[in-house]
Amino acid sequence: MKLPKLLVLSILFLSFCACNAGKDRRSLTKPILQSEYTDNKEETDAPIAYNDYEQQHSDDFNYLPKDAQGTPAIILKREGYTASYNPTTKQPNWVAWQLSREHTTGPVKRNGVKFQPDNEVDNPVDTYDYMQSGFDRGHMCPAADNKWSETAMEQCFLMTNICPQLHTLNSGLWNSLENQCRNWARKYGKIYIVSGPIFTRGQHRTIGKHKVIVPIAFFKVVLCMEDTPRAIGWVVKNTVEKGHKKTEFVNTIDQVERITGIDFFPELPDNIENKVEGEANFSQF
């Protein structure tokens, strides 16, 4: 029996969809702590020129992220960074800053600068909350990025810029990532950085009388808009020992967004955002 032409075409189309339905599918529930990315790129992928971006080299570029819906947040603007402080976790949801080549050095030393409670928030965390806790007072925006200004240096020691970090992470891989960001800022002239803690649902360990919640992991994302726009992210567990390589924990920004619920660099034009947030290649930096 000869089938009608329209029916034949419909069958062929449904068969094609069935064959391709399983391709390029990712789990949306499994956290990614070590991303699987490739250096191979399609030849048709044309680099995005920075002159396609409306705000060319503008200091007015709003690089601040958007918190996950329903997250408690108090926005604190400092000289060297902006923080979204969470009064429930007693630490920032994120800390964002622009790091220029000029700000990678300076005359201000951290010696003698003390951690201080931030009196702009209610019931502020004190440095004593961390004493004998087994955790360092881990900077999200590091002191070494604030040598250019005494005020910036002092403000980066406010406890609203601090999270509980194991010493092996704080002095090891996390410090290595901070140094890498300064190298990129010197190389390209300017980058944008966002760092913060990651929590899971359920019970959490707390420290101090203010019950500061201990993060299970930390994220850091970096955007460079000089020349060809590019971006990269990391998700690092708060148990990482020394000796690990920076490339072991690379994630795309899309992956970090899925884990944290935070929308990074939402003011980017869609064509640039979709491109840079879906790729993460350490060697391209």
User: Which residues carry a binding-site annotation for Mg(2+)?
Assistant: 170
Q: Locate the DSSP E strands across 44-106.
A: 74-77, 82-86, 91-100
Task: Give the integer Cα–Cα distance in Å for 17 and 269.
Answer: 31
90 closest CA partner among 78, 72, 75, 76:
72
Helix (H) or strand (E) holding 234: strand 230-237
Query: Closest Cα partner for 237 from 66, 27, 32?
Result: 32
Which 3 state secondary structure label does DSSP give 24?
coil
For residue 67, what is the DSSP state? P
CA distance 50 to 237: 34
In 3D space, the residue among 14, 51, 20, 23 whose CA is nearest the CA of residue 271 turns out to be 51
Q: Assign 242 to helix, strand or coil.
A: coil
Task: Decide: helix, strand or coil at residue 197.
Answer: strand
User: Looking up tokens 């926005």, which residue turns up?
Assistant: 75
Bridge partners, 212 (sequence order): 207
Q: Which residues are catalytic, by number?
A: 139
Tell me 240's DSSP state. Answer: P
What's the gap between Cα 238 and its chain centre?
15
Q: Where in 15-118 does DSSP place strands (E)?
A: 74-77, 82-86, 91-100
